Amino acid sequence: KNQVEQSPQSLIILEGKNCTLQCNYTVSPFSNLRWYKQDTGRGPVSLTIMTFSENTKSNGRYTATLDADTKQSSLHITASQLSDSASYICVVSDRGSTLGRLYFGRGTQLTVWP
Amino acid sequence: EADIYQTPRYLVIGTGKKITLECSQTMGHDKMYWYQQDPGMELHLIHYSYGVNSTEKGDLSSESTVSRIRTEHFPLTLESARPSHTSQYLCASSEREGEGSANEKLFFGSGTQLSVL
């Protein structure tokens, strides 16, 4: 069964600190992995997209890594800011069809305190 | 950023009422999607469209229906709302390459929070 599991479910950190969010998946065949940021009451916004051949990708203070062999990804946030408080969602796409299909994780709820 | 709009943002309605959730995008994207999301849960695809006059049901069974008469417009309709329909509904659009393409981005609207009493 294709699944995407994220940990931790929730996380609280102090402003300025770093943190790392985890994503494990069993989706096969694998096409790409995306990280989205979703503010409360808003739609998700894309942070990074990585294919099989990419093992790291950065977007400002966000750095995503991918290990396709172990089917694990992480999202590292550097020097956190209050505006980083949001849900971070890991999404994996398969190559089961020409159009692909998206499998969503439940997200990690990050809270940054001043 | 994303030019995809959903209205209303919030809707509280009584059981049995007919409702339509609006979604419009100005990016000229062929592909559009409706997702349902409950608090702390993953997004579930309920409908999608590859272009005008094309609509398909998604993975999650839904009593809603959709239409795609114009490229920019993808409304979702519930003929008779029930409390079990209470959820957040997210509309999204993407470019021609397809939902799973590595070079394709999915743009989401801000969502409609629906509460059925």
Q: A38 with A44: CB under 8 angstroms?
A: yes
Longest dimension (CA), chain A: 46
Q: A44 with A100: CB under 8 angstroms?
A: no
At B102 the pLDDT is: 57
Cβ of A49 and B41 within 8 Å? no
In terms of CA atoms, which chain A residue is nearest residue B89? Answer: A43
Q: How is residue B79 annotated by DSSP?
A: S
At A53 the pLDDT is: 85
At B106 the pLDDT is: 86
Chain A residues within an 8 Å CB radius of B41: 106
At B86 the pLDDT is: 96
By C-alpha distance, which of A94, A86, A89, A85 is closest to A75? A89
For A39-93, write each residue's pLDDT tens digit: 998 999 999 988 888 899 999 999 999 999 999 999 999 999 999 999 999 999 8
CA distance B9 to chain A (A): 9
In the predicted model, what is the mean pLDDT of residues B38-65? 90
CA distance A37 to chain B (A): 11
Cβ of B110 and A105 within 8 Å? no
At A28 the pLDDT is: 86
DSSP H or E stretch at residue A46: strand A45-51
By C-alpha distance, which of A76, A85, A31, A84 is closest to A57? A76
Q: What are phi and psi of A82, to 5 degrees?
A: -55, -35
B45 touches chain A (CB under 8 A): yes
Number of H helices, E strands in chain A: 0, 11
Residue A97 pLDDT exceeds 60: no
How far is the C-alpha of B4 from the C-alpha of B95, rounded, in Å? 13
Unique residue bearing structure tokens 């470019």 = B95
Cβ of A42 and B110 within 8 Å? yes
Residue A1 pLDDT exceeds 80: no
Q: How many CB pairs under 8 A join A and B?
A: 67
